[in-house]
Chain A
Amino acid sequence: MDIKNLTIISALEDLRSKKITAVDLVEACLENIRKHNQDYNVLLTVEDDDKLIKQAREADATDHSSPLSGIPIVVKDMFSTKNLRTTAASKVLENYTPKYESTVTRKLKEAGAIIIGKANQDAWAHGATGENSDFEPTRNAIGTDTGGSIRVPASYNNLVGLKPTYGRVSRYGVVAMASSLDTMAHVTKNVTDSAHILNITAGADPYDATSIKTDPEDYLKSLTREDLKGVKIGLSPDFKMATLDKKLVKKIDESLKLFEKLGGKIIEVPLPHTPESVETYYILVPSEISSNLARYDGIRYGNGRSHFGAEAKRRIMIGTYSLSSGYYDAYYKAAQKVRTLIIKDFTSAFEHVDVIFAPVAPVLPYKIGEKVNDPLTLYLMDIYTSPVNLSGLPSLALPAGFVDDLPVGIQIIGPPLSESRLFSIGNAYEKQ
């Protein structure tokens, strides 16, 4: 069967009306994996075929009333999955099999989802490009977004990516990168599926003290808007539009015009400190990384510290330097203060607008290896995404069309806990 055009919601309808079975879905995914995974290396670990078919049969024995009954899902290899290898795509953890389950994967499983396997990524999720693959076997993927690593892959694959408010989804059982920025995010084919997944993953968790106590909303109820009349959309001249690849400018403008056509009002808002987001990000994140990765000593699990790859070593070194005596004030503390200024910029902007519009990535998708030897150019990839993570805000990445046959994405950023607003606006935009 062809699963390319199925969304989560449409697959659920077909399962409930018995047009298809969960076994069909799982077999189609496994077939794709057999055909393509060797070439694209999308999945680092695939769950045992027999176990998957057994889970699918069990789902088919029900009336598929569970919210994700029989739906195949891939999770980035940052999520601890009980008795299924979890490597964070690092040689340090190449043989690590968790004995407990992350909150997000537990919730997905309880909702009936079938976790097909663990997706490749940059090691320890250090980078925005690791998932730059044109092939995703299920197109439903759950991952982490610390500086854009869900929104960028979504945009580079013409898909929808949601980075929720920091703390909206539990971090428990997820390999930590930068604890004050890490957000559990997801990629789906459309806005409805994205809202449906957040309905399952969102919520307070006693195992994550930074999770938000406010009850989540029913995000599917937000998808009623047909137009954007009365919606104030912020556009910042400081968002360094100048760094945007010229090829993208026209496409991004077209997308903005669409928001206007739907009735949205474009209002210019200053975000004067966002141009410094990348510098701030690349001090704070490596600092938190150096602290989080200090635990990997190869004694209780995993391999020793000589197994870290080049980028992890670079980040550990930069972070250790920033936190070391004599440099702490000049680097780490200075960055924490600029973080305050960036957050204030957004807070002031949201006094005037409902959401802020921005591109996702400054350049078109590129070939694997093209930029890997140039860490600084890669860091600048995060120019539009990192200020959002530093501020803990939610952002919805949406497809904006194609340039040179390559997909382009835009994002709408909202104040804390405005996920419903983002879905509602995104849904109206998507219908155009």
Chain B
Amino acid sequence: MAKIQTLSTDEVKHVAKLANLSFDSEDLQKYLPQLSAILDFVGKLQEIDTKNIPATSQVTGLENIFREDEVDATRMLSQEDALSNAKETHNGFFKVPAIFE
């Protein structure tokens, strides 16, 4: 089990990369102590004995909700509506940043 520790700058940078967020050095100064304090606080949970306790991911008790594999036309957006909030479109498509150089 990982030991509770104060975060390092490198760790914050790594997590930021995973989360697709960018922090400049000023942000890092601000967030590092806050995030460390929060992790120290929530990390206290590790002191509780949870051996053999199952994990809860949802509280409804429902399992495998199925529906017919049919198109629900009342729930469809027209192409025009689907694109209406996009900043950049091209020939009726969303324009996305290039991935390849």
Which residues of A are at the interface with B, using a C-beta cutoff of 8 A? Answer: 95-97, 99-100, 166-167, 180, 206-207, 209-210, 212, 273, 276, 279-280, 282-283, 290, 294, 297-302, 305-306, 308, 313-314, 316-318, 320-322, 324, 326-327, 329-331, 333-341, 343, 375-376, 379, 391-392
Contact = CB atoms under 8 A, between A and B. Distances in A.
B10 to A, nearest CB: 13
A321 B15 contact: yes
The listed residue with most B CB atoms (<10 A of its CB), out of A212, A283, A321, A343, is: A321
B21 A331 contact: no
Given A167-B60, A392-B60, A300 B48 contact: no
A314 B31 contact: yes
A302 B96 CA distance: 13
Contact of A337 (B54, B59, B67): B54
A340 B19 contact: no
A429 B69 CA distance: 49
B62 A210 contact: yes
Contact of A100 (B11, B37, B77): B77
B25 interface: no
6 contacts: A282-B42, A283-B45, A299-B94, A330-B43, A334-B48, A341-B50
A207 B96 CA distance: 29
A29 to B, nearest CB: 28
A117 B67 CA distance: 34
B91 interface: no
B34 interface: yes
Contact of B38 (A306, A338, A375, A392): A375
A430 B54 CA distance: 40
Given A314-B38, A336-B55, A376-B41, 14 more contacts: A96-B85, A99-B81, A167-B59, A180-B57, A282-B41, A283-B42, A290-B19, A306-B22, A320-B19, A322-B42, A330-B43, A337-B53, A375-B34, A392-B59
B16 A317 contact: yes
Contacts of B45: 276, 279-280, 283, 331, 334-335, 338
B84 to A, nearest CB: 6
Given A317-B12, A318-B35, A318-B39, A330 B56 contact: no
A207 B56 CA distance: 23
B99 interface: no
Given A99-B77, A308-B21, A392-B59, A321 B48 contact: no
The listed residue with most A CB atoms (<10 A of its CB), out of B11, B22, B53, is: B53
Given A282-B42, A316-B21, A341-B48, A99 B56 contact: no
Nearest to A97: B85
Contact of B84 (A97, A308, A316, A331): A97
A241 to B, nearest CB: 20
Given A301-B86, A314-B31, A320 B56 contact: no
Contact of B2 (A279, A298, A327): A327
Nearest to B81: A99
Given A99-B77, A321-B15, A343 B60 contact: no
